[in-house]
Amino acid sequence: MKSRHLVLAFAVSLLAPLAPASSPTAAPSGEKLTFVLVHGATAGGWEWKSTGAHLLADGHTVYRATLTGLGERMHLNSPDIDLKTHIDDVVNLILFEDLHDVVLTGHSYGGMVITGVMDRIPERLRHVVYLDAAVPGDGMSIWDIFGGDQPRDTTRFVDGFMQVPWVGPDAKPPHSVKHSIKCFNQPVSYKNPAALDLQVTYVAFVPKDQSIEERAARDKSWQRAESRGWTIRTFPGGHVAQQEDPRGVASLIVESVGDRNKAVAERKTNAP
């Protein structure tokens, strides 16, 4: 999976400030949940296959979204695909499958997508989990999170796509594919009051060769999540920990459903 780590290396720039991980809270005992899992840049629903299988084995309902132009939908790839297209993909999945009380989970670039979904249909969501994912503010693009309006390594962005040159024409699926640049420079909306009141967990994946403090010192998304009163958790592993330890990540997501935002709890307690 070295190539997968390379294509998602830009996500390291998403990593945020020094803050302690929250203590785990009790998971809903024996409750069967509905999960919608959203992958990161250049990937597809295939990235969630093993984690999804563990959730299914535990009796939960699982939808592994594949965003337009990626994964098994690569035949639809186009430089005209943007972030809104991918938000529409997940919104329509939830609406057309008539899903309610969804545990919406996004990884890496998927954090941009689930933010837009939260803003659009918060009434369909029970809990949101950002797994090593981008946490944007209202009106921010993923480039804004990086601190600029364009990629740092422009040689990897050609003909309207972020390229994955190590994936050859004879590569057997599943594998990463090129990804439209418009997904990275389009801003997302995050201002719906109902979205702001959703219960959210932010999970930072921490590799063995890095301390939590080192990881946190670079993590702007962690900082933004903490400022919102979201629950902060850490999990040992690289950026694609859901593939390294699918059982562990599946259990983590389920446990996260019991997390409660500090800000939301305090606001409701102090309400007249």
In degrees and rounded to multiples of 5, residue 22 shows phi and psi of -75, 155
User: Which of 23, 57, 2, 36 lies closest to 124 in space, CA to CA?
Assistant: 36
For residue 96, give the DSSP letter. Answer: H
| Residue 48 DSSP one-character state | G
Q: What is d(CA 43, CA 176) in angstroms, rounded to the nearest whole number? A: 5
Q: Tell me whether residue 256 is one of the annotated catalytic residues.
A: no
Q: Tokens representing 42?
A: 């250049």
63: phi then psi, degrees, rounded to nearest 5? -120, 120
List the beta bridge partners of residue 90: none
Q: Among residues 13, 23, 29, 108, which one is catalytic? A: 108
* Tokens coding 61: 């309902």
Q: Is the dihedral of CA 183, 186, 189, 190 positive or negative?
A: positive
Q: How far is CA 52 from the centre of its chain?
A: 15
Instruction: List the structure tokens of 265.
Output: 């709890």
| Angstrom distances, CA of residue 131 to CA of 11, 70, 227 | 11, 19, 17
Contacts of 238 (CB under 8 A, 6+ apart): 5, 205, 207, 244
* Dist CA 96 CA 1 (whole Å): 34
Residue 59 DSSP class: T
**Which positions are annotated as active-site residues?**
108
